[in-house]
Amino acid sequence: MEADFVVVGAGSAGCAIAYRLSEAGASVLVIEHGGTDAGPFIQMPAALSYPMNMARYDWGYVSQPEPHLNNRRLACPRGKVIGGSSSINGMVYVRGHAMDFDHWAESGATGWGFADVLPYFKRMEHWHDSGHGGDPTWRGNDGPLHVTRGPRSNPLFQAFVAAGQQAGYETTDDYNGEKQEGFGPMDQTVWRGRRWSAANAYLRPALKRPSCSLIRAFARRVVMQNGRAVGVEVDRGRTRQIIRARREVVLAASSINSPKLLMLSGIGPGQHLAERGIEVIADRPGVGANLQDHLELYIQMAASQPITLFKHWNLFGKARIGAQWLFAKRGLGASNQFESAAFIRSGAGVPYPDIQYHFLPIAVRYDGRAAAEGHGFQAHVGPMRSLSRGHVSLASPDPRDAPEIRFNYMSHPQDWRDFRTCIRLTRELFAQPAFAPFVKHEIQPGDAVQSDDALNDFIADHVESAYHPCGTCRLGRADDPDAVVDPEGRVIGVDGLRVADSSIFPRITNGNLNAPSIMVGEKISDHILGRDPLPPSNETPWIHPDWRESQR
C-alpha cells in the first residue's frame, strides 16, 4: 500500500489534487473515511437539508458551549463521504472578493494575491451563462467544475433584486466577475440537474486513470521518521496499517480534521501536545488556532400570496418534485433554490462588501423545518469578516475522539454592531415597493424586536453557523511563528507534508467557501508538482467609487 502521494480526505481540495497529480502521471492514493455519495439525498440539489443532517454523511461535530450565545452548542457539519463537504453543502458558488486574496498576500501568503489566484479559479471552472448575463472574460469555460444558475422563475427572486435597486444599491450581473458588490443572480455547482460536487467534477475522472485509487479507511496520524512524513497510519476495517508515501503526504481533511491530524502526529502547540501525552515533533502554536466562520440570521417574512415553495412542503408535493427529478433531472428538485443574492457594504468607509445575502422563497431552517406561519420567504444575512477567533484542540490522544471546537462566536463587540446593522438593513429591503405585493408581516425577529438590547437577545438565541469554518492551519511566511504552512502549503518545521484545504486560509473570504477551497487544491497541486504557477492576471476588480463617503 504505497504511492508517490497519499492524500487524506476526498473533499473539495483533495479531489482536485488527486485529479491534477494523477493527470501529471504521479501515483496517488486518496484516503476517505466516508462512503459512497450515490443516491438522491446527495445528488438532488433541492434535497440539501438531508445529507448535512445524516450521520451517514456527516462527522456530526458540534462546538463547545458558546459563552456569548447563551452557552448554545452550534452544529459544525463536515462531509464524511466521497466529495467531502461539497457533497453535503448548499452548492452556492462564490469565489470571494479580490481584496480578500490581496489581504492574504499582505499578511504573508506571498503568491496568493487576487492576480495569482484568479487564473486558478478560471482553470477549475466550466461556466455556463445560459444567456443570463455574466462576465465571460473573468470566467473559465473548460474546467472540470460546472457552474450554472437557477431559472429564477419565482417572482420573489426578481423582487429581491428590485428591492435592492429601490433602496439605492448597485446591481451586478456576476458577483464572481469584475463586480461583486450589488444584487443579482446566484451561481450554483449544479449541472444537468445534479449536484456537481468535487467528487463528480474531479474524483470520478481521476479514478478512471490507473495512477489514482481510493481507499476507505480512518486516518489516525501521519507517520513521521526523522522529521519527515513517510505515510499515514489508518484503520481499515479491523486492521491497522500504514499507507506509505514515496514523495509526500497531503492533508486535505478539513479545517477541523487537518489540525487534529497534525496534532495527533506531534505537530502543534507543544504544551497542549505534551499534556495529551503526544511526543512533540514540531512546536507550532498556530495549529488549531485562528478558527473562523460566518454566522447568519434568517430574517423571515410571512407572504400575502401563496407563491412560495411552501405549497410543495407536504408529502405529495415532495413526492412529485422527487419523481420529476428522478426521471428527468428537472423541476424544483434541480436547483438549490438559492437563486438571488447580494453583497453589500455595511457603512461608508468600508472598501468592499462585508455583508452577504442568500434569498430563499420559503421560510425554512437548514434542518428542513418550515416556519409555523406557512407561506413565507427569507433572507439569510450575516457579516463576512468577524473579528472573533476560536480554536480546535484535542479532547484526548485517541484519534477516534472528536476534537474540541471552540469558535468563540460573537466575542468581539463589533460583531454585535455588525449583526444589528444586518437586521436593520434587511428590514429596510423588505419595506421597499418591490415587496409590497408579497409581504404580510415579519415572522422573525418580529416587529416588537427593535431596541439594541432586544436585537442582541434575538441574535444570541437565533444566530446560526453558515458552516464555513476555516483558518486553523494558516498560510504565512516560513519565519512567522503563528503560520502553519508556507506559501507552497508545506508544513513548516517538517519535510514531506503539506496541508491543502480551507484550514490554510489566513482570513475567511467573502461568501461560501467551496470555491476557494477547490482553488487551494488546484494551486497547491502545481506547487507539489514543482511547476511554475499560472501567469498572474491583469484584471482589475470594481470598487465602489464613493466607498469612503457612502454606504451604497
Residue 400 placed within a domain: no
How many Cβ atoms sit within 10 Å of the Cβ of residue 397? 14
Q: Which pLDDT belongs to residue 130?
A: 63
Q: Which pLDDT belongs to residue 373?
A: 81
Check: CB of residue 11 under 8 Å from CB of residue 37.
Answer: no
* Binding positions: 81, 89-92
- Bridge-partner residues for 304, per DSSP? none
How many Cβ atoms sit within 10 Å of the Cβ of residue 503? 33
Q: DSSP per residue over 46-105, as a string?
A: GGTTTGGG-TTTB--EEPPPBGGGTTBPPEE--B-BTTGGGGTS--B-----HHHHHHHH
Q: Which pLDDT belongs to residue 131?
A: 64
Residue 247 placed within a domain: yes
Strand 295-303 relative to strand 376-383: parallel, antiparallel, unpaired? antiparallel
Residue 134 placed within a domain: no
Find where cell 456527516 sits.
58
| Pairwise CA distance, residues 460 & 531, whole Å | 48
Q: Which tens digit of pLDDT belongs to each residue from 242-294?
A: 999 999 999 999 999 999 999 999 999 999 999 999 999 999 999 999 999 99
| Pairwise CA distance, residues 360 & 436, whole Å | 17
Q: Which pLDDT belongs to residue 496?
A: 98
| Pairwise CA distance, residues 347 & 370, whole Å | 33
Q: Which pLDDT belongs to residue 482?
A: 97
Check: CB of residue 101 under 8 Å from CB of residue 180.
Answer: no
Check: CB of residue 469 under 8 Å from CB of residue 292.
Answer: yes
Find where cell 450554472 sits.
148
Check: CB of residue 267 under 8 Å from CB of residue 490.
Answer: no
Residue 364 placed within a domain: no
Residue 357 placed within a domain: no
Q: Which tens digit of pLDDT belongs to each residue from 313-358?
A: 888 999 999 999 999 999 999 999 999 999 999 999 999 999 999 9
* Binding positions for FAD: 81, 89-92
| pLDDT < 50 regions, the chain | none
Residue 188 placed within a domain: no
- Residues 6+ away with beta carbon under 8 Å from 93: 147, 176, 187, 188, 189, 512, 514, 515
Strand 212-216 relative to strand 28-32: parallel, antiparallel, unpaired? parallel
* 73 CA to centre of own chain: 20
The residue segments making up the domain with residue 255 are: 2-39+198-291+471-528
Check: CB of residue 536 under 8 Å from CB of residue 206.
Answer: no
Residue 85 placed within a domain: no
Residue 234 placed within a domain: yes
Catalytic residues, by residue number, are: 468
> What CATH number is attached to the domain comprising 502?
3.50.50.60
The total number of structural domains that make up the chain: 1
Report DSSP state, residue 171. Answer: B
